[in-house]
Amino acid sequence: MKNLRGSGLWLITIAMLISSCGAPSSAETTTPPISTSLATEVVEPTPTPRPTQGPTATVWPPVFDINSLGDLRDQDSFVVIVNEMNNYGGQSTERTLTMGYIKEPYSAYLINQYSSGVEKTYVIDGLVYILTGSGDWYIQTEGGNSILEQAHLPAANTDVLVDATFVGEEEVEGIAAYHFVLEQMELPNSNDKLEGEFYLAKEGNYVLYSSWKSGTSDSDYFQITETFSSINQLSEIVLPAEMQGMPAAANVPSELALPLPPESRFISMVSYRSTGILSGVDNFYFTRPDMDEAEFLDFYRNLPTTDGWTVSHIGFVTRHSQQCADIHECVIINKGSTQVVLALEGSNLLAEFDWNHIFAPLQ
């Protein structure tokens, strides 16, 4: 109210001054009406132009910094081949690792080809399938994330080439890349010489190819070469023909409704398919139930006939290479022609599917 009252007095004063001067002639400009509010006019400041931002400075020629490498595992998929050659004292060995990778949903494989055979590992749907050089099967729930360890990502075996220099730009697998070369150099405190080269993708700064060789001469050396291909082109990974039966083998205890103590969860499986006493035995490992050996044996002593399973023996087992032979009592359970030996083994529960009935009760 104080402000409005002040405004009214001021308006009366102005009106008296106007009336004393008379009405304005038509040639004069009419005074615009005065607002009854005391609003303050806000003056917008004139914006100051900002300087135009130029492109980010690029180091040229490119310099190799192993600590700033991108990780190829950020890509959707790829295949990598790692070849290792070792030649010393006239003895030569060679190993080739071929790895495939799909980021989502995660699947991968590793084929290890060496002088005496081939080992294959596949990770599909959360299970790890391994076919050994001797033909045995391994299936497990853990270890799938370590399948690319031997690719040494993200460095991809460039860690010994930190002194390599840029020599030009090229394309690798259709990808623009920087080429770095390490000319032959003497290694400190050694008679060995080192040389090598690698390519880095311009977009993403990940390794596309690397190779280095170290030794005292052309006849005595170690060489490792790593080649990436099919980047973002691998759409599916499937088990090869010789491993197609492994998923079904892993499901046998579940399909046959093998009675197990509560909280026994599948961990892994080993199927011995090479020659030997255990050929034809499939070993399934489960988490150990929360019970001691006496409670474990009582569980099967009191097990009613269920789903076709009957307990035929509790005690020691003949021809058994594990603890059931003379250390701990075990259980033999049967369903039709299927025979299984059950035992507590360390932190696991072991179920041996004895397809050929090589085990028998020890009398």
Is the same domain home to 76 and 153?
Answer: yes
CATH number assigned to the domain comprising residue 190: 2.50.20
Is the same domain home to 168 and 266?
Answer: no
Q: Compute the radius of gyration of the chain from its Cα atoms.
A: 40
Is the same domain home to 84 and 219?
Answer: yes
Angle at 142 between CA 137 and CA 146, to 5 degrees: 95
In a domain, 340, yes or no: yes
In a domain, 313, yes or no: yes
Examine the fold and report which residue of 195, 229, 263 is the final residue of a domain before the chain moves on.
229
**How distant is the alpha carbon of residue 111 from its chain centre?**
17
Q: What is the pLDDT of residue 56?
A: 43
Residues in contact with 218: Cβ distance below 8 Å, sequence separation at least 6, in sequence order: none
Residue 113 contacts residue 45 (beta carbons within 8 Å)? no
Q: What residues does 287 pair with on adjacent strands?
A: 348
Examine the fold and report which residue of 160, 194, 229 is the final residue of a domain before the chain moves on.
229
In a domain, 51, yes or no: no
Q: What is the pLDDT of residue 101?
A: 98
Is the same domain home to 93 and 162?
Answer: yes
Is the same domain home to 90 and 221?
Answer: yes
Angle at 362 between CA 357 and CA 363, to 5 degrees: 125
Is the same domain home to 206 and 83?
Answer: yes
Reduced to 3 states (helix: H, G, I; strand: E, B; else coil), residue 259 is coil
Is the same domain home to 222 and 256?
Answer: no
306 DSSP assignment = B
111's tokens: 């084929």
In a domain, 60, yes or no: no
Which of 147, 108, 148 minimizes the C-alpha distance to 125?
108
Q: For the beta carbon of residue 235, count every other beta carbon within 10 angstroms.
A: 9
Examine the fold and report which residue of 197, 229, 261 is the final residue of a domain before the chain moves on.
229
DSSP code per residue over 28-88? SPPPPPPPSS-PPPPPPPPPPPPPPPPPPP--SS----GGGPPPGGGSSEEEEEEEEEEEE
Is the same domain home to 264 and 118?
Answer: no
Identity at 151, one-letter amino acid code: A
Cα distance between residue 276 and residue 297, in whole Å: 29
Locus of tokens 């008296």: 16
Q: What is the pLDDT of residue 20?
A: 40
- Its domain, for residue 266, covers 251-361
In a domain, 42, yes or no: no
Q: What is the pLDDT of residue 271?
A: 93
pLDDT tens string for the chain (363 positions)?
Answer: 334 334 443 333 333 333 443 433 433 333 333 333 333 343 444 554 544 443 444 568 899 999 999 999 999 999 999 999 999 988 999 999 999 999 999 999 999 999 889 999 999 999 999 999 999 999 999 999 999 999 999 999 999 999 999 999 999 989 999 999 999 998 887 888 999 999 999 999 999 999 999 998 888 999 999 999 999 999 999 999 999 999 999 999 999 999 999 989 999 999 988 777 677 899 999 999 999 999 999 999 999 988 999 999 999 998 776 678 878 899 999 999 999 999 998 899 999 999 999 899 987
Is the same domain home to 193 and 263?
Answer: no
Is the same domain home to 202 and 158?
Answer: yes
Is the same domain home to 262 and 223?
Answer: no
254 DSSP assignment = H
Identity at 78, one-letter amino acid code: F
Residue 228 contacts residue 73 (beta carbons within 8 Å)? no
Residues in contact with 46: Cβ distance below 8 Å, sequence separation at least 6, in sequence order: none
299's tokens: 């569980």
Residue 296 contacts residue 162 (beta carbons within 8 Å)? no
Residue 283 contacts residue 269 (beta carbons within 8 Å)? yes
pTM, 2 dp: 0.79
**How distant is the alpha carbon of residue 361 from its chain centre?**
46
In a domain, 239, yes or no: no
Whole-number Cα distances in Å, 157 to 82, 229, 258: 10, 16, 47
Is the same domain home to 78 and 221?
Answer: yes
In a domain, 202, yes or no: yes
362 DSSP assignment = -
Residue 339 contacts residue 357 (beta carbons within 8 Å)? yes
In a domain, 290, yes or no: yes
Cα distance between residue 186 and residue 220, in whole Å: 15
Q: What is the pLDDT of residue 106?
A: 96
Cα distance between residue 132 and residue 56, in whole Å: 52
The domain total for the chain is 2
